[in-house]
Amino acid sequence: MATQTITNITFNNGVTIPQLGFGTLNVPADRTPSDENTAKTAEIVGLALELGYRHIDTAQMYGNELGVGRGIAASGIPREHLFVTSKLGNGNHRPDDVRRAFDETLQKLGLDYLDLFLMHWPVPTLYGGDYVSTWKAMTDLLAGGRLRSVGVSNFQPGHLKRIIDETGITPVVNQIEVHPGFNNDAARHASVSRGIAVEAWSPLGQGKLLDDTAIGELAARKRRTAAQVILRWHIQHGHIVFPKTMHPKRMQENLNLFDFELSPAEVAAMDALDKGEAGRIGPNPNTFDWIPSHEHII
């Protein structure tokens, strides 16, 4: 089974995470938490687990925690063999809401504990710019025995510096947009230099990089697919990745990354595809303030 070959990354608190997981943003595409969508999410997550994925990435804002939890429960895989991440929604940043929303997350996932809980976005334009109290409330959850690790997502260098300076507590992870079109060097280096592991979201550039000519040529030379060489580039950079796909064949393809290597020159050639800020696909963390309608509204 492919899980045996997936490498682990060790966080700054000693907890380990499989370097490759399964992403669930837009599983399914319509994120309304309807019965039909919950069943579809459970089915897709169940397929991923059957194929060997043991690390699942979800979020309150994806509206699919119930389905993820049902897929996990139906798999019968012992809890200690799984690594499950969820993220605090943008509407839940007040300390009381952090505690309430974390309880809801565990309830929806049907789990006694979560492996990793992330602040999804700093939303510095909301809550009077106070993401520090939110971070403190999240780190307080560690004492309850229901959370193993706490981290952040979409934190720019200044956001990281501020929470660490003001609380003395360093996140284990910063989950940020990274792919060959957008190396996100400043946020990556600010994380790594502080001992914070980098999780690369949209590792395939949401599929947009799969048609890139240079990547296609490299993939052909390696007798691999474009998705595999991109994901291998992430693995060799030490990023934790969790590509999303609804298709079992692609799930399998994305698992098969541990029996080939890119040379240093091949990695460097992919590094050179970086377009800087112009390559960013997702929102800018300095201004993003979206709160989905199914969440508690501030």
- Work out how close the CB of 88 gets to ligand NAP at its nearest, in angstroms, rounded to a whole number: 11
Closest-by-Cβ residue to ligand NAP is 23
Instruction: Quickly tell me which residue has 């792919």 as its tokens.
Output: 179
Which residues contact ligand NAP (rule: CB under 6 A)? Answer: 23-25, 57, 120, 153-154, 175, 201-207, 210, 227, 242-247, 250, 253-254, 282
In angstroms, rounded to a whole number, what is the distance separating the alpha carbons of residues 93 and 295?
A: 12
Of 76 and 212, nearer to ligand NAP (C-beta) is: 212
Whether residue 131 lies in the annotated active site: no
Both structure tokens of 57: 């990435």
Residue 28 makes CB contacts below 8 A (sequence gap 6+) with 37, 40, 41, 44, 64, 246
Both structure tokens of 62: 């994806």
Of 111 and 178, nearer to ligand NAP (C-beta) is: 178
Of 168 and 211, nearer to ligand NAP (C-beta) is: 211
- Work out how close the CB of 175 gets to ligand NAP at its nearest, in angstroms, rounded to a whole number: 5
Give, in order, the Cα–Cα distances in Å from 160 to each of 156, 164, 175.
6, 6, 12
- Work out how close the CB of 1 gets to ligand NAP at its nearest, in angstroms, rounded to a whole number: 19
- Work out how close the CB of 34 gets to ligand NAP at its nearest, in angstroms, rounded to a whole number: 19
Active-site residue, from 62, 113, 127, 131: 62
Of 210 and 269, nearer to ligand NAP (C-beta) is: 210
Q: What residues are labeled active site? A: 62
